[in-house]
A and B are shown apart, each in its own frame.
Chain A
């Protein structure tokens, strides 16, 4: 496998649910150590795309290539076994379970043998804390702590650390910063960078252009299920990207029209924002 072969690639992927076409001719690729930012407004088809990448949905047409080889996933578990890990907005963590138990869910370390396999709590806690700390979250020192007491950013970090530890090669992050404050979001972005440094291919889904521009190497804008723009870092400004996401309507135009309205209506903003 040459260094230039994308770890995961989609070629002309369509996905329809019955008569409804959700994705049209999506083509994208991510290489190891690269962050692909998928930008798109709500309803642009981001979640369907993630689910297709994660093996939840099979594409209606087109193909998925892993390490350059055409692949079909038999479900999310199969995709995971091939190193594709998805971390959802809330981290897929369980608030009333300890950090160690969350970290090893489904892959519990055991000691003993036969039917008397015992969950190795000490080992689980130790590894979980170590791995999270390696990701730069030094506040977590106790693997018995319940995840519900962690901040949103820490939960994300825990989930990312988990994926990295279990050998993920492609990390799909579904809006990891959407529900977070500024400081916490910065934290998560640092961890995205850390994952990238370790040679993971990262697919970062967001609608926050600022966050995307901080970590992204490559950007794709999704509008109504199709890739509307595909460019590399530095090729477009923040305003241009925002405009693209808003479906071509420039933010500047929008702002101007609202201001114009307010001037003629004694400073009231428009009551109903209509398209066009």
Chain B
């Protein structure tokens, strides 16, 4: 069956396509991929190219998903940048320094993320402090605590930990020496978030909260609980990446992770999430993450000056926001024609 006949069957129309929030990001991804594929050549289009950008995409992507959800609900989370080292440090200290089982370290690290997320949510819902400020505050607090405690316990800013083969295999190995297992975890996270946001009713609540928090509360949606839950999800995502990093690199550093703050927000915005909340999609966030990763890694394959890469990412961000606005306006005014 050709695509033409299936479109006649009524399952597909230009209107449906325009109305989908991820159309803009899909076009963006294709353009960027073709651009770097033409420069990077066979190597970039082969396994080495795919693995290098997918590895980047998976790491950022696991954080970008909940950060994007938070943005849809109208909040920011900048604390992810310091949750990553905090959780990897916790896991390394528990399992490496105190030689507890790997599972204890993993649970400990994830708990750090959930806890910081819970505090963020509490601050945002109980006070009038905007989430941008609240999470900058918690970011610095967590950063300081991580450094202080690491020096206090270990006397150093880096802790090494050699995980057992099973843990390493599950969280920090490279398949074929190229593809990080994080890619599969990322796919798993995408599936779970896709279900929650677009299939289960709770997704509706998140969008409504970003659209108009007051009315959403009046409609009986537990906005405070949901906000706290979303912050905990983003803390969890960041902590997960932190743990995956320990397992991969067999060491935890107190610094690092800051790049994830802007990168995750960039992926989300390129993916078509409205900065002020109320609109976006999981597929869009995934496409945004892939676009970001392709540019990030494509630069090396295309043998371009890395500075040009930054320029491209900056331009991409602006173009993405502009085109997403256009698509949103189109979607708003689009109505199916009377049959």
Contacts and interface: CB of A to CB of B under 8 A. Distances in A.
A107 B334 CA distance: 26
B271 to A, nearest CB: 15
A95 B212 CA distance: 9
Interface in A84-136: 86, 88, 92-97, 101, 104-108, 110, 117-119
Contacts of A118: 199-200
A226 interface: no
Given A94-B207, A97-B211, A101-B204, A142 B336 contact: yes
Contacts of A104: 204
A96 B201 contact: no
B321 to A, nearest CB: 15
Interface in A17-43: none
Nearest to B211: A94
Contacts of A80: 220
Interface in B287-339: 328, 331-336, 338
Interface of A: 76-77, 80, 86, 88, 92-97, 101, 104-108, 110, 117-119, 141-142, 144-146, 148-149
A149 B333 contact: yes
21 contacts: A76-B218, A92-B215, A92-B219, A94-B208, A94-B211, A95-B278, A96-B207, A96-B211, A96-B279, A97-B208, A101-B204, A104-B204, A105-B204, A105-B208, A106-B220, A108-B204, A119-B199, A119-B203, A119-B204, A141-B338, A146-B332
Contacts, number: 79
Contacts of B19: 144, 146
A117 B200 contact: yes
Contacts of A95: 211, 278, 332
A94 B212 contact: yes
B218 A97 contact: no
A118 B200 CA distance: 5
A96 B20 CA distance: 11
B274 A105 contact: no
A149 B218 contact: no
B203 A145 contact: no
A92 B218 CA distance: 9
Nearest to A79: B218
A117 B200 CA distance: 6
A108 B207 CA distance: 13
Contacts of B336: 141-142, 144-145
B221 A105 contact: yes
A203 to B, nearest CB: 16
Nearest to B217: A76
B170 interface: no
Given A106-B219, A145-B335, A149-B332, A92 B201 contact: no
A142 B331 CA distance: 13
A146 B18 CA distance: 12
A208 B49 CA distance: 67
B148 to A, nearest CB: 40
A167 B199 CA distance: 26
Contact of A97 (B207, B217, B333, B335): B207
B226 to A, nearest CB: 12
Contacts of A77: 220
B221 A142 contact: no
Nearest to B338: A141
Given A94-B215, A119-B199, 8 more contacts: A80-B220, A92-B212, A94-B216, A97-B204, A97-B278, A106-B205, A107-B220, A144-B19
Among A105, A117, A145, max chain B CB count under 10 A is at A105
